[in-house]
Amino acid sequence: GLRYVYRLLDLDVLRRPVADVLAAARLAGFDGLNVTHPAKQAVVPHLDELSPEAAALGAVNTVVFSRGRAVGHNTDATGFARSLSRGLPDVRIDGVLVTHEHADHVGAARILDEKLHRRQGRRVPFWMTAGTRRGLDDRCRPTRLERAEPGRAFRVGRFTIEPFAVPHDTREPVSYLLD
């Protein structure tokens, strides 16, 4: 088996900037870090290198320390696409519902859009609120955007979808009821 230790480094508890936590992990001999919101974009300027996926998204969810360098990776889109192809290989995807603008929700939208286009031969609509859409930068923007508004139902394939507002620390976050 593998010998490893997994430790939580919570920025709120540590009350240290991302750069300090990254430097301390490197100094302590960590092999890598998992990165989540709100640090996925904040850590990028403090890394020595980015994988092509992380560079394309401008966000990192994994840091690997190797040969004195900190390399940022992002596995969100590839992991999601791989899960789809393994778990639902023959299912046609008619739409993607985005709940809010955190990097781990919208950061991989462009890559996922491309993977779904190659898989299905067509562009799949990404449904999100105007607030979430404003949170996208051009690197993350899927080709086909549709507007979701709380209280205004729409159809995706055989489903009726009704967005509803939820409390969160982003602009216009929603969840969805599917019928």
Give the mean pLDDT of 93-108.
80
Give the mean pLDDT of 153-166.
94
| Beta sheet of 96-97, edge-to-edge order | 96-97, 126-128, 145-147
Mean pLDDT of the chain: 87
Please report, for residues 43, 57, 106, 139, the alpha-carbon distance to residue 110 in angstroms, rounded to integers and kept in the order given.
21, 8, 8, 7
Give the model's pLDDT for residue 137: 67
Percent of the chain scoring above 70 in pLDDT: 96
Give the model's pLDDT for residue 59: 85
Nearest to 57 by CA among 118, 142, 157, 129: 142
115 in active site: no
Percent of the chain scoring above 90 in pLDDT: 47
Give the mean pLDDT of 8-26.
92
Catalytic residue from among 18, 25, 40, 106: 40
pLDDT at 84 over 80: no
Q: Which two tokens stand for residue 72?
A: 């940022």
**Which pLDDT band holds residue 149 (cuts at 50, 70, 90)?**
very high
Give the mean pLDDT of 158-174.
91
Give the model's pLDDT for residue 105: 65
Q: Which two tokens stand for residue 39?
A: 């640090």
